[in-house]
Structures are given as structure tokens and as C-alpha cells.
């Protein structure tokens, strides 16, 4: 239907904005020869929120390797404030 096509187009547009934001950040930091946007996105796929206990509402981020965290900070991604 038309609504489904509009929703798909919107999500695709937002995804492209984020993807090219990663490309821009890699170029600005001159890391595009060492890392691809896919590398950065694969790092992000391994980061998720973890609840301390089943009934607890308190969450924290999963452990992030130091190398990955430093790379994300270099690109301007602030996960922990």
C-alpha cells in the first residue's frame, strides 16, 4: 500500500542519513583508509543496554572493548556521559 511505501522510504532515508554521517566522520578524522562505514556499524551492533536484574529498571551499556570505545570517541560518538 501507499502507507507502507511511505514508511519504507522514510526509514530508508533516515538510514542513509546516518550512514553518510559515519562516512563524513571517517573522512574528517582521516580514518576512511583504515575503517569502512560497515566496520563502524558492526561495532555498534555489539553495543546494547543490559538490565541489572530482571525486575530492575536500571540499565547500563554492555562492555565495549577499549579499542572500539576509543575509535567511537574519536569519531565523536559519546556513549557514556
Q: What is the pLDDT of residue 60?
A: 86
Q: What is the pLDDT of residue 9?
A: 97
For the chain, which residues make up each domain, given as ranges? 2-74
In this model, does residue 13 exceed pLDDT 60? Answer: yes
Global confidence as pTM? 0.75
Model confidence pLDDT, tens digit, residues 19-69: 999 999 999 999 999 999 999 999 999 898 888 888 888 888 889 999 999
Q: Are 69 and 79 in contact (CB under 8 A)?
A: yes
Q: Are 72 and 63 in contact (CB under 8 A)?
A: no
In this model, does residue 16 exceed pLDDT 80? Answer: yes
Amino acid at each position: 500500500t501507499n502507507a507502507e511505501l511511505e514508511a519504507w522510504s522514510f526509514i530508508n532515508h533516515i538510514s542513509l542519513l546516518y550512514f553518510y554521517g559515519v562516512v563524513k566522520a571517517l573522512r574528517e578524522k582521516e580514518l576512511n583508509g583504515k575503517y569502512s562505514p560497515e566496520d563502524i556499524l558492526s561495532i555498534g551492533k555489539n553495543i546494547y543496554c543490559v538490565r541489572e536484574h530482571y525486575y530492575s529498571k536500571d540499565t547500563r551499556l554492555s562492555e565495549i572493548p577499549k579499542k572500539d570505545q576509543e575509535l567511537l570517541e574519536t569519531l565523536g560518538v559519546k556513549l557514556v556521559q
